[in-house]
Amino acid sequence: MSGKVYFVATPIGNLGDITIRALEILKSADYIACEDTRHSVILLNHYEIKKPTFSYHKFNENKSALGIIDLVKQGKKVAVISDAGMPVVSDPGVILAKKLIEFDLPFEVIPGASACVTALALSGLDSASFVFGGFLPEKNQERVAYIRRLATAESTLIFYSACHDVEKDLEDLFQNLGARKVAVCNDITKKFEETFRGVLGELKIENPRGEFVIVVEGANIQNALNSLTMNEHIEHYISTGVSKMEALKLVAKDRNLSKSDVYKYTLTDKK
């Protein structure tokens, strides 16, 4: 059996941003699984790639993954692409990858353009480490809890955002992270690419169009948390889902205190 799956990164805007290796894989594949065949045909036609395509998106991912498994078992080579960037990362593909591992079938990743890493470079913020947060949850309670879990990360935070969500996303990030430096990258690598830089709570995007990546400065633990009252500090950690005892440990570490000192403080309900 010589069948194999290839997760192939495609351009995030400019069609020229594709690797030679990616083109070779697409041209040699027996089938190409696309997030949206209507979108992918633009890229494939541009490079004169004529291969059978079929849809592989979040609404049919389980069923299509099993179909791809069958093709691999038949010895077929299947290239998997998303509308832009790397499959699996905030795009369909993770279910297939898990099933390929489960069935001990071979797959390979063909690297290429990445919106989150490109935005990090454009932001001018610290790039020593970063946390990729993907798209924020749709439900308000879930998104608030999600942002708060990331609030103490000292690494730069990166989020994807659609044009109809970017204003709310920025406001919710401000409400839960405070006035941090932020860069908002719009339509990266496209003709009208633009990066807006400022501070959460102040930066506004007028008439948003296209796709956005939001890059936010990481937490300064001393400034971000130690300025809270002790009880607020403890409640912050509890809101992220940890137990009260674990929250006490984290607060003690932040404030360079012993856990017993923090515990005594809560007993007196001191402000």
More confident: 134 or 258: 134
The residues facing 77 across adjacent strands are 4
- In terms of domains, do 73 and 150 share one? no
How many Cβ atoms are within 10 Å of 105's Cβ, its own excluded? 17
Residue 167 sits in a domain whose CATH number is 3.30.950.10
Reply yes or no on whether the pLDDT at 183 is more than 60: yes
- In terms of domains, do 109 and 143 share one? no
More confident: 173 or 249: 173
Please state whether beta strands 77-81 and 194-199 pair in parallel, antiparallel, or not at all (unpaired).
unpaired
Cα dist from 30 to 4, 5, 21, 26, 209, whole Å:
10, 10, 16, 9, 36
Reply yes or no on whether the pLDDT at 115 is more than 70: yes
Are 119 and 159 a contacting pair, CB within 8 Å?
Answer: no
Q: How far is CA 180 from the centre of its chain?
A: 19
Residue 107 sits in a domain whose CATH number is 3.40.1010.10
The pTM score is 0.80
Q: Cα–Cα distance between 95 and 107 in angstroms, integer?
A: 13
Last residue of a domain, one of 80, 96, 113: 113
pLDDT at 222: 58
Last residue of a domain, one of 87, 113, 139: 113
- Give the pLDDT confidence of 191-221 residue by residue, as tens digits: 999 999 999 999 999 999 999 999 999 987 6
Reply yes or no on whether the pLDDT at 270 is more than 50: no
Reply yes or no on whether the pLDDT at 271 is more than 50: no
CA-wise closest residue to 167 among 194, 132, 130, 200:
200
| Residue spans of alpha helices (H) in 165-243 | 166-177, 221-225, 230-239
CA-wise closest residue to 215 among 113, 123, 89:
123
The burial of 9, by beta-carbon neighbours within 10 Å (0-12 exposed, 13-18 middle, 19 or more buried), is given as buried
Structure tokens at 187: 């339509």
- In terms of domains, do 203 and 254 share one? no
- In terms of domains, do 107 and 12 share one? yes
- In terms of domains, do 122 and 156 share one? yes
Are 19 and 121 a contacting pair, CB within 8 Å?
Answer: no
Q: Cα–Cα distance between 110 and 6 in angstroms, integer?
A: 7
Average pLDDT, the chain: 91
pLDDT at 259: 75
Non-local (6+) Cβ contacts of 219 within 8 A are 151, 152, 153, 154, 177, 180, 225
- In terms of domains, do 91 and 120 share one? no
- In terms of domains, do 243 and 259 share one? yes
**φ and ψ of 229, to 5 deg:** -70, 165
Reply yes or no on whether the pLDDT at 182 is more than 60: yes
Last residue of a domain, one of 78, 96, 113: 113
Domain interval for residue 60: 4-113
End-to-end CA, the chain: 69
- In terms of domains, do 103 and 176 share one? no
- In terms of domains, do 132 and 69 share one? no
- In terms of domains, do 89 and 17 share one? yes
Cα dist from 186 to 169, 189, 208, whole Å:
14, 9, 9
Number of domains the chain contains: 3
Average pLDDT over residues 35-60: 94
- In terms of domains, do 82 and 146 share one? no
E strands within the chain? 4-8, 31-34, 53-55, 77-81, 107-110, 130-135, 156-162, 181-186, 194-199, 211-216
- In terms of domains, do 230 and 215 share one? no
